[in-house]
Amino acid sequence: MGSGNDVWQLLQNYWPVLLGNTLEWYEFAVYGYMESYMEKNFFRGSALATWLGFTATFAARPLGGMFLGVLSDTFGRKLAVVVTVIGMLCATVGQGLLPTPRLWGDDSATGDLGVCLLFGLRLVQGLCTGGEIGAVTTYITEVSAHRSMGRCVSFISMTANLGFMLARVVIWAFQSLLGEEKMLDWGWRWPFIVAIIPGLISVWGRLFCLKESELFQEEHSRSLLDDSDEEEEHEEHSGVAERSKERKSTRRQLMEFACTHFFAVLIGIGGVISFAVFQYGGLVWVNSFLKKHGAPHNYLMLAGTCSRLLQIALAFPVGWLADIYGTALLTFAGAMVQTIAGLPLFMALATDPSSIANLLVTYTFGYSLVTNLQLTVYLYCAELFPTAVRNLGVGVSYNIGFGLFGGFAPLVAEASLEWTPYGPGIMLSLAGFITCMTILASVSCQRDGKVQLAHIRPRPYMGTWADGDGQERVMRESYFE
């Protein structure tokens, strides 16, 4: 009953965060699901160039995670989530208004300008997405009760999947209403433009309905008090104490992050590789692969929608399992399943893409199960960092992992087909293996007292194997610091 109240309070008080997260991932997914239209309108039929446009957002995500992480850790979680949703909304609607080479002619300077602006807006989306995932994960983690943290954080996954599913449904609705010819000519613009309606609601909610994280306020108050004491001693006669205080706080934050949390960042990057590659190389790219290899449009729409619905339905039970057995244990289990099943699932899918039964078994059920077991990766990253640098740490580690590995997964998958027809499946299994090894190595380091993996909820983490004298020593040292 108590845990149920925790979840209900989260929904009541922080719905603008979850609504905005839905919108952010809707906006992010639209481009990927309309790859064929973007290819013909902007990139003159080049699939690789189109996926390069998709990858552009990932290049900017670590920078967004770093910039907005510093902003959030310095001025508050609320400011960061407001900035991200406004930037994402402007970039998304802007993409739907661009001129294209197909519309203006292949040799038109206006069309080429549209391509340049598209890349620019995709970079803005990447900056905002990188900031959003760090800010939202940090926010929800800090306002959740410890006993139900896995279930509360599962709403991040639910809303992200809802955003991906809504992107599919909206595109399908416009395709059914307009037909392929009109959709190719101008209908592709509308899925971008209609985002303005829920986007304005989300902006309003985040501006006027959100409360700041109490955990951040307590940490920030202590930090300002410490800075004030030091600056009274060293800058007693200076007239710029306030400006110096802000600079010193930010400088100290970055130095602590770079010097103290380097290994935590590496552990975070390795921990998200499996999930990142499967999300964009196993779900988004495979959708385009199936469409080009004979999967009927209606079958593909049904399988994709059911996949997202299944992921939404399973997210809460996975969060509950994380609350019982531990965040790292569930992340490890998902990565292990991906290692074993990544190649066989893709081989089965590629054998007969036109079969609805094959699509439902592999793409809907198999892919959803592998993805869902790794939804704890948000909490996995947040646990790695203390409050003072948590948003920055999540923003950098999560987005580097997604930028380098998830962002390039579609390109690698597309290019690997030239080498072997089962190259994408090998890529999925290899990504799972890397994450498994990262988690095992990190837990071993914690047992030896070399690193602290969980700053908010040390137990449950990965069963009793994560416990040890070294862990207790690191926790005591962290507390007294």
- Report the 3 state secondary structure along 177-204: HHHHHHHHHCHHHHHHHCCHHHHHHHHH
* Residue whose structure tokens are 């951040």: 216
In whole angstroms, what separates CA 213 from the centre of its chain? 21
Quick one: what percent of the chain has pLDDT higher than 90? 24
In whole angstroms, give the CA distance from residue 301 to residue 359: 10
Q: Residues 315, 156: contact at Cβ < 8 Å?
A: no
Question: How much is the pLDDT for 252?
Answer: 65
Report the alpha-carbon distance of residue 209 to residue 310 in Å, rounded.
Answer: 31
Segments of the chain scoring below 70 in pLDDT: 1-4, 106-107, 213, 219-220, 222-254, 256, 465-481
Rg, C-alpha atoms of the chain:
23
d(CA 257, CA 251): 10
* Farthest-apart Cα atoms in the chain, separation: 78
CATH ID of 2-217+246-480, from 3.40.50.980, 3.30.360.10, 1.20.1250.20, 3.40.50.150: 1.20.1250.20
Distance between CA atoms of residues 412 and 98, nearest Å: 28
Find the Cα–Cα–Cα–Cα dihedral 327, 331, 337, 341, rounded to 10°: 150
Between 262-277 and 327-351, two packed helices, what is the crossing angle to 10 degrees? 30
Q: What is the pLDDT of residue 225?
A: 62
Contact 104, 167 (CB under 8 A): no
Distance between CA 45 and CA 54 in Å, rounded?
15
**pLDDT of res. 223:** 64
Predicted pLDDT at 317: 93
**What residues contact 396, with CB distance under 8 A and at least 6 apart?**
62, 65, 66, 69, 134, 257, 265, 268
Res 265: pLDDT = 92
Domain ranges of the chain: 2-217+246-480
Residue 244's pLDDT is what? 43
Torsion of CA 376, 378, 380, 385, to 10 degrees: -160
Per-residue pLDDT reduced to its tens digit, 154-209: 998 898 889 888 888 899 899 889 988 899 999 999 999 999 988 898 889 888 87
**Computed from CA positions of residues 138, 140, 141, 143, in that sequence, does the dihedral angle turn out positive or negative?**
positive
Q: Residue 96 has which token pair?
A: 């739907």
Please state, in angstroms and rounded to a whole number, the distance separating the CA atoms of residues 467 and 470: 8
**pLDDT of res. 424:** 92
**So what's the pLDDT on residue 429?**
96
Residue at 341: amino acid letter: A
Separation between Cα atoms, residue 161 and residue 311, nearest integer Å: 7
Q: How is residue 288 written in tokens?
A: 């385009």
Q: Is the dihedral of CA 183, 281, 375, 68 positive or negative?
A: negative
Rounded to two decimals, what is the model's pTM?
A: 0.79
Specify the pLDDT at position 259: 79
For 115, other C-beta atoms within 10 Å of its C-beta total 19
